[in-house]
Every structure is written in C-alpha cells, then in structure tokens.
Amino acid sequence: MLLFGSMTTAAALAWDIGETVQAHGFLSQSAAHTTHNNYAGESADDVAFDLREIGGNISWQPDPDWLISAQALMRWAGETDDGDLRLDYGFVDRTLLSGPNRLGIQLGKIKNPYGFHNTTRDVAHTRPGVIMPQSIYLDRMRDFFLAAPGVSLYGEHAGQSVTFSWQANLVEPEVDDRELEFVFRLRDIPGHYQGKRSWYAQGLLEMDNGRWRLGLTLNDLGMEFSADDSSTNLRTRLLSLEHNRERWSFAAEYMLIDVANRPKSGNPDNTVEAYYLQATWRFMPRWQAYVRRDVIYFDKDDRDGAQFHASLPPPLRVLHPTYSRYAKDNTLGVRIDPSPSWSLFLEYHDVDGTAWLSPQDNPTGTTRDWDLFLIQAAYRF
C-alpha cells in the first residue's frame, strides 16, 4: 500500500512543477522462471523476482532553444545488476536551428543512437516486450551501449511525407562493468577497462507518416585493459526496418559487429552476426500480441562454437561451452495497457543456446536448451 500511495503522490506532483520543468518516473517488477539455467536471478526450476527497475527523470527548458535533462536509475538483474543508483544520462541541449530543418548539439552523458530502441529502452512501456531482442540489445552490455559522456550533433529535415533525422556522437564508452570482462576476457581477472575515444552515427528515414521507417547505425567503439595494455575495438553496421499498419506492425533489425583484440585477449578476432524479426498484432483496444525470432552468433564463421571451444584451456570450457557462442530464441508474448500509466506483460521464450546468459548467474555451467517465462508489471507517471 505504501508503494502504490507513493506512486499516486508522485504522479500528482509531476504536473505541479511548472511549465518549463517536467518530471517523470517509472518502475517495473518482473517474475522469471526458467526450466534450466539462471536468468536475472535464481530462476532455474524456481521463480526469481530480481528483475526490477526504478527510475526518474527531470528536464528544464529555461528558453525555447535550451534544454537540461537527466535521469537516474536503480536496476536489479541477478548478479550483473545489484540496484546501485546510477546516472543513466544527463546533458545540456542547445537548438541551433529550428523549423522544418532542425539542428542541435548536446553535451554531457548522452544517449547513443543505436537501432530503433536504444534511446528509449530504459522505460518498460517503450520496449517491444518484457526484455529487448537480445540479439541486438544485449542486456549483458546495456550500460556499454546506452549512453556515454561526450558531445552529440543532431538534425532533422521534415518534408511533406518524408522525415529524415540524423545524429553523430563523439564519446568515451562507460566500461566500469565486470560483465564486460566475461564477454571479452571470458573471466574476471585483475585489472579494469578504460574507454577510448569512440563514435556513433545514425540516419533514420520515416515515410508516409511513419508507416515505413528505415535506419542505418554505424559505430566504432574502443577500450583498453589496464593489466596488459591490450585493446578491443567494435565496429558495428546495423540496419533497421519497420512497417506499421492499423492493427499490425512488423520490425526487423540486422547487425554485424567486427571485434578486434590487440594483442589477443582470450577471444579471437571475430564478426558477430545478429538479427530479429517481430510481428505485433493489436487485436483489441489496449491489447496486443507479438511473436519474435531472435538470433545471435558471436562468430558468424564459427556458428556452432566448436572452433572457439576447442581453443580454450580446460578450466574455461565449463563456463564457455560451444552453445555459449550463440542463442536462437522464439518468443511469444501478450501485452495489455489497462491505463496510460500501467502495462502488463506475459512472455514465453524457447531458447537454443546461452549467448545472452551471464556466467556470473551460472557459475557451475549451463544447459543448451531452455525455456524462459516472464511476467512484468510496469508503471509510469
């Protein structure tokens, strides 16, 4: 009762701040059950309630051409996220040109343009399901891709039936995350990563009042490891396509990431290949159902992981079996929005492979084929 009373009070306060200031908040709570393996807590043959988020953002527009915005978040997700308070983003935005041709600049910790959903993925209501398509928006690397300190230049051209928007970021990725060592070094070892100067660029084309959306994302991200001065670079090409109709939406994204390690740091150089296809059916007012095919290969030239596994020393083979190098997920979900503030989700995943599972949640090993059941309640004001 205290929680719901606090949310009601917060919602009322959100509208009393003033015309130039807006404040919003959100929270979500999920229950997860898996037939094998742990996901976001001890979910194997049990129910885990570790997947939750609480966040709030505030923005102040002292002048039509100036905006100051920030968001804080606490997130829990098993061993990879323990609820520490973090700054998701915080920036100053200056509009340089307004009208049909817009131009602006942002400075601070800014959101990175990455596919259709990265800049809005922090709020559960904006996601295409309980969890993001893990092929493109891997939660194990959420903070690495979400936002970073730097500068961003953006623009938009609005035509009669076509809108083109673009954004270019020069940033230093945030890499203070133990999970990155399991992804790129295969284990937790002494030392830490430090971000290098990196960039993102994205162009988005909307046609026929949003009926068609087409996007291209490019980036070059770098980081160094303190213990041995090795470096890792990721170069991404991500193509996004969406088609919207009255009752149906269809979305697809395809990505290639070239991963280069200098010198070799446990993982060989490789090219990640990933894609998802999703269809959403709005079959009743406030109700929608969706189906998704979601696939990732950590190495498109070693899709079954056999070559990678054979190259590992025996102690690492338990944590990194062949099937840890891919995941093929079939998802079925239902969503209802009983009010503008509430969303409820029910979702089922049939997964072959464990590429998006953390060894931190599964220290004794994993099983190749597993099922995931998710229920989520999300609130926003």
Predicted confidence (pLDDT) per residue in 155-188, tens digit: 999 988 899 999 999 999 999 888 888 888 888 7
CA torsion sign for 121, 125, 131, 135 is negative
Three-state DSSP class for residue 206: strand
At position 265, the amino acid (one-letter code) is S
pTM flag (> 0.85): yes
Half-sphere exposure at residue 179, Cβ-oriented, CA atoms within 13 angstroms = 22
Give 303-348 pLDDT, tens digit per residue: 999 999 998 888 888 888 999 999 999 999 999 999 999 999 999 9
Q: Which tokens belong to 44?
A: 């194997």
Amino acid 266: pLDDT: 53
Please count the other Cβ atoms lying within 10 Å of the Cβ belonging to residue 332: 14
Range of the domain at 306: 96-145+154-357+364-380
Degrees, nearest 5: CA angle 29-32-37: 145
Q: Is the pLDDT of residue 7 over 50?
A: no
Judge whether 41 lies within some domain: no
Measured CA distances, 15 to 11, 55, 192, 231 (Å): 7, 17, 43, 48
Q: Which residues contact 158 (CB under 8 A, 6 or more apart)?
A: 100, 101, 102
Residue 309 is part of a domain; what is its CATH number?
2.40.160
Measured CA distances, 129 to 30, 48, 290 (Å): 12, 18, 8
β-strand partners of 39: none
Give 69-92 pLDDT, tens digit per residue: 999 999 998 888 888 899 999 999
Amino acid 264: pLDDT: 60
The answer to whether the CB of 258 falls within 8 A of the CB of 284 is no
Give the phi and the psi of residue 110 in degrees, each rounded to 5: -115, 150
Q: Is the pLDDT of residue 12 over 90?
A: no
Amino acid 6: pLDDT: 39
Q: pLDDT grade, residue 57 (50/70/90)?
A: very high
Judge whether 249 lies within some domain: yes
Listing DSSP states for 365-381 in one string gives: ---SEEEEEEEEEEEE-
Judge whether 208 lies within some domain: yes
Judge whether 12 lies within some domain: no
Q: Which residues contact 327 (CB under 8 A, 6 or more apart)?
A: 134, 135, 294, 295, 296, 351, 352, 353, 354, 355, 356
Total count of domains within the chain? 1
At position 43, the amino acid (one-letter code) is S
Judge whether 72 lies within some domain: no
Q: Which tokens belong to 86?
A: 């973090």
Scanning the structure block, which residue is given the tokens 């396509």?
241
The residue among 89, 60, 59 whose CA lies nearest residue 72 is 89
Judge whether 206 lies within some domain: yes
Judge whether 188 lies within some domain: yes
What span, in angstroms and rounded, lies between the C-alpha atoms of 200 and 217?
Answer: 7
Give the mean pLDDT of 208-229.
92
What span, in angstroms and rounded, lies between the C-alpha atoms of 21 and 70?
Answer: 12
Q: Which tokens belong to 200?
A: 């993102």
Judge whether 1 lies within some domain: no
The answer to whether the CB of 281 falls within 8 A of the CB of 289 is yes
